[in-house]
Copies of this chain bind each other. A is one copy, B any other.
C-alpha cells in the first residue's frame, strides 16, 4: 500500500464506437485518459495509494474528469481546480491496415495554463514512495517544464524514487524543445521508460537496423540503447518496450529492463489481438512501477510489467482495468484466455 504520485494532464477522450470513422457518427464515447493518469489508475488497481496531480476546471466536465479517477480509487485531493477547459483528444480506432487516428485539442487547457507555484510538492509528495511523470507533461509548455523540474527535484531531495516515460509527442513540441527540457528533467530521474523511437526522437540515441513502420524490430540493439541512456543521464534503471506492429489488430509486445550489463532481462513476448491500443505504453509504466515497489527481480519485474501491459491491450479505454491477481496469472504463464467458471 505504497503512496505513489503522478503528475500530468487528464483529457476528455472522444471516440466513435466500434470501428466507425469520425465523419460517420453522431455520438461518441466520452471518457477520460492521459499518459500519467493511466499510470495512476493502474497503481490504484494494484492496491497502492495512488495520487494524481493536475489542474481541472470547476465546471461539470472538470468534475467528471475527477470522478473518473475517484471511481477507481485514485486520490484526487491534490488536483487543483480552476482554469478554462479540459483538454481533449479525439481518437478513432483503426483496423487491419488502417491505423488509429488521434486529433489533439488540448491547447489552452487548465493544466497547460497552470502556474508552477500552484503545486506544493513538499506537501503532495509527503510520505510518497514513488513519483512518476512522462514527457507529455513538460511538452505542454514552459511552465510545465518548470513544474516537472521542481517536482522531480523535490522528490529526489525527499528520497523518493522518480520515473519518467519519455513519451515524445511530435504534435506538441519539436525534438529540440524536447531534448532541452528532458535533459534537464532527467537529471532527477531514477527510472527511465522509453521505446526506441522516443530515445531517438528526444536524445538521438538509436539502435540500427530497425524500422518500426515495417514491424521489424532488432532486439539486439536495445541493450545498447538502454546502456547509452543510462550512461548519459545516470538512470538507475532503463526499461525499453518493443512493439512489433503487424497491423492495427495484431501486435507483438515485449520489453527489456536494464540495470547494468550484468543485470538485464527481456520479457516473454506476447502475440496480442488488440481491443484498444491507447494506453498500452502507460500500462507498462504502471506495471513496472508496481513490480519495482514489490521488490521483484529484474526478470520478474519486466515479465510482470509486460503481462500487465499485454492485458491492457484487451481493455477498452485509457485505463488498464486489471487486478494484481489477473496480472499474476498471466505473468505466471496462463494466457489461454479460457473462461473461468
Shortest beta-carbon distance from A203 to chain B in Å? 20
Residue A84 lies at the interface, judged by CB distance under 8 Å to chain B = yes
A243-262 interface (Cβ within 8 A of B):
245-250
Q: How many copies does the complex hold?
A: 6
Known contacts A85-B107, A321-B21: A96-B272 contact under CB 8 Å: yes
Q: Which residues of chain B come closer than 8 Å to A18, judged between CB atoms?
A: 18, 316
Q: Which stretch of A58-66, A115-123, A178-186 is in the interface?
A: A58-66
Report whether B71 and A337 are in contact in the complex, using a CB–CB cutoff of 8 Å: no
Q: Which stretch of A148-156, A208-216, A292-300 is in the interface?
A: A208-216
Nearest B residue to A108, CB-CB = B108
Report whether B84 and A61 are in contact in the complex, using a CB–CB cutoff of 8 Å: no
Shortest beta-carbon distance from A12 to chain B in Å? 9
Nearest B residue to A244, CB-CB = B336
Q: Which residues of chain B come closer than 8 Å to A31, judged between CB atoms?
A: 26
Residue A126 lies at the interface, judged by CB distance under 8 Å to chain B = no
Report whether B310 and A97 are in contact in the complex, using a CB–CB cutoff of 8 Å: yes
Report whether B67 and A336 are in contact in the complex, using a CB–CB cutoff of 8 Å: no
A205-233 interface (Cβ within 8 A of B):
212-215
Shortest beta-carbon distance from A251 to chain B in Å? 9
Q: Which of B24, B28, B340 contacts A316 (CB 8 A)?
A: B24
Q: Which residues of chain B come closer than 8 Å to A28, judged between CB atoms?
A: 27-28, 30
Q: Which residues of chain B come closer than 8 Å to A274, judged between CB atoms?
A: 96
A314-341 interface (Cβ within 8 A of B):
314-317, 321-322, 326, 330, 334-341
A26-54 interface (Cβ within 8 A of B):
26-31
Report whether B275 and A247 are in contact in the complex, using a CB–CB cutoff of 8 Å: no
Residue A305 lies at the interface, judged by CB distance under 8 Å to chain B = no
Residue A264 lies at the interface, judged by CB distance under 8 Å to chain B = no
Q: Which residues of chain B come closer than 8 Å to A64, judged between CB atoms?
A: 22-23
Q: Which of B27, B84, B338 contacts A30 (CB 8 A)?
A: B27
Known contacts A105-B85, A315-B19: A99-B24 contact under CB 8 Å: no
The complex places the Cα of A339 from the Cα of B249 at a distance, in Å, of: 11
The complex places the Cα of A67 from the Cα of B23 at a distance, in Å, of: 8
The complex places the Cα of A6 from the Cα of B45 at a distance, in Å, of: 26
Report whether B104 and A341 are in contact in the complex, using a CB–CB cutoff of 8 Å: yes
Report whether A247 and B90 are in contact in the complex, using a CB–CB cutoff of 8 Å: no
Q: Which residues of chain B come closer than 8 Å to A273, judged between CB atoms?
A: 95-96, 247, 249-250
Nearest B residue to A95, CB-CB = B314
Shortest beta-carbon distance from A78 to chain B in Å? 15
Residue A288 lies at the interface, judged by CB distance under 8 Å to chain B = no
Q: Which of B21, B30, B326, B334 contacts A25 (CB 8 A)?
A: B30
Q: Which residues of chain B come closer than 8 Å to A70, judged between CB atoms?
A: 70-73
Q: Which residues of chain B come closer than 8 Å to A278, judged between CB atoms?
A: 339
The complex places the Cα of A336 from the Cα of B271 at a distance, in Å, of: 15
* A–B complex contacts, Cβ < 8 Å, 16 sampled: A18-B316, A23-B72, A60-B103, A68-B71, A70-B70, A85-B107, A95-B337, A96-B273, A97-B330, A98-B315, A99-B338, A104-B341, A171-B341, A212-B338, A213-B338, A247-B336
